[in-house]
Amino acid sequence: MEENNTITIYDVARVAGVSMATVSRVVNGVANVKETTRKRVLNVIEELDYRPNAIARGLASKRSTTIGIVLPSFTHSYYSRIIIGIDDVARMYNYNILIANSDGDPDKEMALIDDFAAKQVDGIIFMGDTMADSVRQRISRLRTPVILAGMIDPEEQVPAVTIDHRQATVEAVGILAKNHEKLALITGPLVNAINTERFDGFKEALEANHRAFSELQVIETKYSYKAGMKLVDRVLAMGATAAYVTDDEVAAGLLNGLLDSGVKVPEDFEIITSNNTIVTNYTRPNLTSIDQPLYDVGAVSMRFLTKLINKEEIDEKTAILPYRMAIKQSTRQ
């Protein structure tokens, strides 16, 4: 004898002696409900412990009060930090978060976007290194608003919140160029938009500082601590005495790899990394880094998304947030 406990708006209506429409009104705080009946309904809701069914509500209203997040990794400190910003603002606006890991694979990204669309999310925050054409097309056909966090769309079609990575790279490399002839750029895949920006900034800074550039100075790598550790030989072999690294985990790996090989940092080798996440504090020496406002990137993205969802006017399609340099121990000053 399965008892069906589900308490619906009809139950409340019946007990309160009103119509279900009235119950719906008080639940949604809609105007024009007499104070006495409002209270009566509220009491019954309390009494019956009624909870509106968000699914039914979503079907009727076409809004799910849920947003979707696509990201390339659950563990990477960069994205974790952004998520906190997203979460705080999402909570303020009463959105729940549907989250999914794409591994940075465009096919998975597309599948996840479709998935989210099917679940009727009100908006999507997309994170990654780049925006594949296939993904951009999918997004453009969506009626659901999408915003990029911590990256930009090179085609500038999709709204985005990020920092100026090219300029930040110029600044970071400029610091290293003071004390060094031969610099290395250690970056994620150059097919990715965010990294081509950095690549451009790297070259620009070398030129501005009258340093030679060759492709050999550029190392592409996966974003992981292990990958960073394995780079030591290559970096030393090319004769570099300083490196700009685009990822904190990789930088930590490179640093520890160098230390384990007896190279002193910053005396014999200087490192600047890019995200200033907590990882940069774990190492000794800790890592000088571009200081991106990652929390803000998340918070602004989410706030931005609420505007898109509500079809509010927006001034700029892309928000470029300011960054700083966090000078720590892996540079000599």
Partner DNA sequence: TTGTATGCGTTATCAG
Partner DNA sequence: CTGATAACGCATACAA
Instruction: In whole angstroms, give the CA distance from residue 271 to residue 183.
Output: 10
Supply the minimum distance, in Å, between the C-beta of residue 58 and DNA: 8
Is the CB of residue 68 less than 8 Å from the CB of residue 98?
A: yes
Supply the minimum distance, in Å, between the C-beta of residue 281 and its own copies: 6
Cβ partners under 8 Å of residue 324, min gap 6 = 290, 291
Instruction: Identify what 33 binds: DNA, its own copies, none; CB under 5 to 8 Å per kind.
Output: DNA
Cβ closer to its own copies: 32 or 75? 75
Instruction: In whole angstroms, give the CA distance from residue 109 to residue 101.
Output: 8
Selected binder of its own copies within 19, 28, 43, 53 (CB under 8 A):
53
Supply the minimum distance, in Å, between the C-beta of residue 230 and DNA: 48
Instruction: Identify what 283 binds: DNA, its own copies, none; CB under 5 to 8 Å per kind.
Output: its own copies
Is the CB of residue 13 less than 8 Å from the CB of residue 20?
A: yes
- Strand ranges (E), the chain: 66-71, 96-101, 123-126, 146-149, 160-163, 183-187, 218-220, 242-245, 270-273, 288-291, 318-321, 324-326
* Encoded tokens for 207: 């030129």
Q: Which of 61, 123, 142, 128 is nearest to 307 (CA)?
A: 123
Cβ partners under 8 Å of residue 11, min gap 6 = 48, 50
> Torsion-angle region of residue 144: left (phi > 0), alpha (psi -120 to 50) or beta?
beta
Binders in 101-160 for its own copies, by CB under 8 A: 101, 114-115, 117-120, 143
Instruction: Identify what 74 binds: DNA, its own copies, none; CB under 5 to 8 Å per kind.
Output: its own copies
Supply the minimum distance, in Å, between the C-beta of residue 1 and DNA: 16
Supply the minimum distance, in Å, between the C-beta of residue 22 and DNA: 4
Instruction: In whole angstroms, give the CA distance from residue 177 to residue 187.
Output: 18
Interaction of residue 57 with DNA, rule CB under 7 A: yes
Interaction of residue 76 with DNA, rule CB under 7 A: no
Interaction of residue 18 with DNA, rule CB under 7 A: yes
Cβ closer to DNA: 40 or 108? 40
Instruction: In whole angstroms, give the CA distance from residue 194 to residue 199.
Output: 9
Selected binder of DNA within 1, 2, 3, 31 (CB under 7 A):
31
Interaction of residue 48 with its own copies, rule CB under 8 A: no
Interaction of residue 61 with DNA, rule CB under 7 A: yes
Supply the minimum distance, in Å, between the C-beta of residue 99 and DNA: 24
Residues facing residue 320 across a β-bridge: 162
Selected binder of its own copies within 20, 42, 98, 325 (CB under 8 A):
98
Selected binder of DNA within 53, 96, 140, 310 (CB under 7 A):
53
Residues facing residue 126 across a β-bridge: 70, 148
Selected binder of its own copies within 11, 14, 40, 52 (CB under 8 A):
52
Q: Which of 165, 182, 177 is nearest to 205 (CA)?
A: 177
For residue 183, the Cα-to-chain-centroid distance in whole angstroms is 29
Residues found near its own copies in the complex (CB under 8 A)? 5, 51-56, 58-59, 64, 66, 74-75, 77, 80-81, 83-84, 87, 96-101, 114-115, 117-120, 143, 225, 252, 256, 259, 278-279, 281-284
Residues found near DNA in the complex (CB under 7 A)? 6, 8-10, 17-22, 24-25, 27-28, 31-34, 36-38, 50-53, 56-57, 59-62
